[in-house]
Amino acid sequence: KPWGRAFRRGLAELGTPASETAMVGDQLFTDVFGANRAGLVSVLVAPLSPGLLPHTRVLRHLEKRLLRRFRLPGGSTWPSYR
């Protein structure tokens, strides 16, 4: 992820078209971006952990800054890591 190969492989294993498949993930720049590029519906969920790899920590920081600009229904902000 976010490149198409991983998503095409998943679709092939599932035997479903992109238009009828959803990707549920906790990373905006890999899960959501990749799924949308591949034509899948994407569902962003709160991360279970901040990530241990350096590049994941950087992306989590960028995601947090970006998502702070958006509000969820009811006026709440994006939740912190669980």
What pLDDT does residue 4 have? 86
Segment 5-40, tens digit of pLDDT? 999 999 999 999 999 999 999 888 889 999 999 999
Say if pTM beats, i.e. exceeds, 0.85.
no
CB within 8 Å of 13: residues ≥ 6 apart: none
Which stretch of DSSP H or E encloses residue 61?
A: helix 54-68
Question: Tokens 């959501």 belong to which residue?
Answer: 32
- Measure the CA–CA gap between 18 and 11, rounded to whole angstroms: 7
CB within 8 Å of 33: residues ≥ 6 apart: 2
- The rounded percent of the chain whose pLDDT value lies above 90 is 41
Kindly list the distances between the CA atom of residue 10 and the CA atoms of 3, 5, 27, 49, 82, in Å, as whole numbers in the listed order: 12, 9, 17, 24, 27
